[in-house]
Amino acid sequence: MMPPHLVVVGASLGALDALRALLPALPLDFPAALIIVLHRDKEESRDLIPLLKEDCVLPVVFPLDKELILAGHVYMAPSNYHLLVEGDHFAYSVDEPEDYARPSINILFESAAEAYGTHVTGIVLTGMRRDGARGLLAIERHHGTTLVQEPAEAIAPEMPRAALAAVPGAKKMSLVEIGQWLSTLRH
């Protein structure tokens, strides 16, 4: 069964601290699937899962190719692949990096917007450069929900600023507010 809602999250420099602040907010009955793209060095990302699990009551996994997307799960994009949403499952590609990034936040966000339309929330967190801006715009065009971390609070404000420039209507929130928003997400 498809989860009723997808929350897609993009983060780069400063991501780990931001995620460790957000993940404890997720309740056991979290009604959506949370999918995270994080820019990391090629071989590093695998060590992240045990770390993030400490802060999260939900399962945190790297999905396999064509794996069904389930509510109440946190999915991480592994390094060196693009992760896409395709219908009710995940898909991968090793197409060239976009904006120097593989995984690319834009590719995840755009594919999620196309597959889930209004039932997507896109969140752009701290990071360098501007990956995520185009993807957030795609989510807005499909009438999904768009949230951006308050740049003043972000370790690297460049990415949230670029997202806000692309989607001026996105809600600016602190990490605490984003956490509250996630914890009260209902069907």
Partner 1 sequence: MAIEIEDIEVPLLVEAIYQRWGYDFRDYAIASLKRRIRRIVEREKFSSISSLQEQVLRDSACMQRFLEQVTVSATSMFRDPGFYLAFRKTVVPLLKDRPSLRIWHAGCASGEEVYSMAILLHEEGLLDRSRIYATDLDQTTLNIAKEGIYSLGKMKDYTKDYQSSGGKAAFSEYYQAGHGHVMMRKDLSRNIVWAQHNLVTDASFNEFHLIVCRNVLIYFNSRLQERVQHLLYESLAEGGFLILGRQERLRLTNYESSYRILDRREKIYQRVK
Give the whole-angstrom CA distance, residue 163 versus residue 158.
Answer: 9
Choose the catalytic residue: 73, 82, 111, 131. Answer: 131
Give the whole-angstrom CA distance, residue 112 versus residue 16.
Answer: 23
In the chain, which residue ranges form alpha helices assigned H by DSSP?
15-22, 48-53, 105-116, 133-141, 158-166, 175-183
Q: Which helix (H) or strand (E) holds 145?
A: strand 145-149
Restricting to residues 40-79, which ones interact with partner 1 according to CB under 8 A?
42-43, 62-66, 78
Please, which residue, 40 or 82, has the CB nearer to partner 1? 82
Q: Least CB distance from residue 84 to partner 1, whole Å?
A: 4
89 in active site: no
- Per the CB < 8 A criterion, the answer to whether 166 and 122 are in contact is no
65 in active site: no
131 in active site: yes
**36 part of the interface to partner 1, by CB under 8 A:** no
- Per the CB < 8 A criterion, the answer to whether 165 and 134 are in contact is no
Instruction: Pick from 55, 97, 129, 158 the residue near partner 1 by CB under 8 A.
Output: 97
Beginning with the edge strand found earlier in the chain, give each strand of the sheet holding 60-61 in spatial order.
60-61, 74-76, 33-38, 6-11, 120-124, 145-149, 171-173
Check the CA dihedral 76-78-83-88 and report its sign.
negative
Q: Which stretch binds partner 1 (CB under 8 A): 26-34, 92-100, 122-130, 164-172?
A: 92-100
Q: Least CB distance from residue 85 to partner 1, whole Å?
A: 7
**38 part of the interface to partner 1, by CB under 8 A:** no
Please, which residue, 26 or 33, has the CB nearer to partner 1? 33
Choose the catalytic residue: 39, 73, 82, 119. Answer: 39
**99 part of the interface to partner 1, by CB under 8 A:** no
Per CB under 8 A, residues contacting partner 1 are 42-43, 62-66, 78, 80-82, 84-87, 91-97, 102, 107, 111, 114-115
